[in-house]
Amino acid sequence: MSISGPHLGYWYNSNSLFNSGLWLLKKLKNAQCIHQLTFSDDQDPHNTYFYKLCKLKTLENFKNIILLSSPQDGYVPYHSARMELCPAASSD
């Protein structure tokens, strides 16, 4: 069970205040996990940690998967928590 986890990272996040906080954390702490969650760990999106992780077939190891999310969540993008295609991504 996962409750509002950023399974697809923070790409296409519309919360500008939260995005500013992530930017500040990247500058001050330089934490690798923040770079991975925001897809800034490599110039080429195909070389990012999240992309490589998505290529692994790890969800096959689970019999049941429950994802809980809310469109009112101000921190984790709704599509990321539900592992759905973001409407804005279809135009990229």
Which residue ranges make up each domain of the chain?
Answer: 2-91
Summarised one tens digit per residue, pLDDT across range 74-92 is: 788 888 888 888 877 777 7
Q: How many CA atoms lie within 13 A of 89 on its CB side?
A: 13
Phi-psi map region of 53: left, alpha, beta (phi>0 left; psi -120 to 50 alpha): alpha
The three state secondary structure string of 34-66 is HHHHCCCCCCCHHHCHHHHHHHCCCHHHCCCCC
Summarised one tens digit per residue, pLDDT across range 27-72 is: 888 888 888 888 888 999 899 888 898 888 888 888 998 888 888 8
Residue 23 has pLDDT above 80, yes or no: yes
pTM: 0.65
With cut-offs at 50, 70 and 90, classify the pLDDT of residue 10. Answer: confident
| Contact between 12 and 18 (Cβ < 8 Å) | no
